[in-house]
Structure 1
Amino acid sequence: MARRRRTRPSPVLDLIFLIGIVGKGIDGLLELVGGILLLAVAPGQLARLVQVLTAEERAEDPHDLLANLLLHGVTHLGTGTTAMLAAYVLLHGVVKVAIVIALLRGSRRVYPWAIGALGLFLVLQLYSLVVSPSVGVVVLTVLDAVIILLTWREWHENRTVHDTWRSTLSALRGRSRPAPAQPSQDA
């Protein structure tokens, strides 16, 4: 089998990829915690908790977008809706955390799975945009599309996350060092 020709690494794209992987891991952990909370807390308790947590922000700015979206969202949750949302968020979190762990362990085989899973989530986000458009979902969809493209790039380059990390650190160190002094031609 012919070996793929490597292109010159791009430290900026590599750094974006690494930040995206860490971000997906953190997002996955937060989704796991959120899914567990959705299962453990009754919808009424959740609504009261969000009211308490957003009270100060809503007092300062009654039109705060995030606080009002959270409050509106939890006040319309029923028991069945909460269970479905919890299952979706837990599944989403488990998949993201599993992908990030596999990537951090150095597995190249996970790249196609990561691209497929993130692609599926991207399709669900696009559906969500069609049904109920929002700026937040647009931003998340664009970020996910960028992460998918960068993941494909890493897979195509046949690099692990460790390879990317090392080349990025090397490039950053190389840029932070002053250029070596050139010998004078006057002598």
Structure 2
Amino acid sequence: MMQRTLFAGNWLDKTFKVSLVLKGLDGLLELVGGILFLLVPPDRIGSLVRVITQHELIEDPGDLVANALRDAAGAMTVSASIFAAVYLLLHGLVKIVLVWAVLRDKLWAYPWMIAFLLAFIVYQGYQMAVAFSWAMALLTVFDIFIVWLTWHEYGAHKTRSADPAEDPRPRQA
């Protein structure tokens, strides 16, 4: 069996934990966004986006992000707002629960985290095929990286569970 060096193990473990915390914060932001979509009517969202993007569009009328935000906000309907709210609330809640469980070393959560992220990677791939977005591409690469890290940590966690002598972490009483 291959042994990990302390440096590689520590580096991967730290990277994994930082990535999970970022995913958890993303889930928290999704919950906040979902709540806002429930509480703020679509016309108010459009007004807010116009105010936020106004300065940028004065400087650069062709700004892709500002124009895309304005277009999306202008096309927002009540049903689209409710869909966005439900999507963000469910996605954020599942993400937070899975991140919490993985950070607590719950073995069952690792495969669920991988499956959850793979499902969204497929969805994100579909979205990019319909309309490419660099933000979506970067999110997808980040998710692929987290899947790889989760798979790696899951394997290490199973090895430690099978052979407690392999676990370099101190035992808790």
Give the Cα–Cα distance (whole angstroms) in 2 for the partners of residues 64 and 27 of structure 1: 25
Contact 1:31 1:93 in 2 (8 A): yes
Give the AA of the match of 2:149.
L
Counting aligned pairs with the same residue, the percent is 42
Contact 2:107 2:154 in 1 (8 A): yes
Provide structure 1 residue ranges, at least 5 long, that are not aligned to the other structure: 161-165, 168-187
Map residues 1-187 of structure 1 onto 2, 5 A cutoff.
Answer: 7-8=4-5, 10=8, 11-158=10-157
What is the CA distance between 1:127 and its match in structure 2? 1.2
Which region of structure 1 is more displaced relative to structure 2, 141-150 or 103-112? 103-112
Give the Cα–Cα distance (whole angstroms) in 2 for the partners of residues 27 and 144 of structure 1: 12
What is the CA distance between 1:48 and its match in structure 2? 0.2
Q: Deviations over 1:71-104 (max 9, x none)?
A: 1111111111111121111111111111111123
* Runs of 4+ off more than 6 Å: none
State how many pairs are aligned. Answer: 159
TM-score by length of 2: 0.82
TM-score by length of 1: 0.77
Contact 2:17 2:103 in 1 (8 A): no
Give the AA of the match of 1:8.
T
Provide structure 2 residue ranges, at least 5 long, that are not aligned to the other structure: 161-168
What is the CA distance between 1:46 and its match in structure 2? 0.5
Q: Deviations over 1:23-51 (max 9, x none)?
A: 10111011111111111111111000111
Give the AA of the match of 1:143.
F
Give the Cα–Cα distance (whole angstroms) in 2 for the partners of residues 16 and 72 of structure 1: 37
- State the match for 1:175 in structure 2: none
Question: Which structure is higher in helix share?
Answer: 2
Give the Cα–Cα distance (whole angstroms) in 1 for the partners of residues 55 and 103 of structure 2: 39
Aligned-residue CA RMSD in angstroms? 2.2
What is the CA distance between 1:109 and its match in structure 2? 2.0
Q: Deviations over 1:120-161 (max 9, x none)?
A: 11111111111212111111111100100100000000179x
- State the match for 2:163 in structure 1: none
Give the Cα–Cα distance (whole angstroms) in 1 for the partners of residues 3 and 82 of structure 2: 47
Give the Cα–Cα distance (whole angstroms) in 1 for the partners of residues 114 and 3 of structure 2: 20
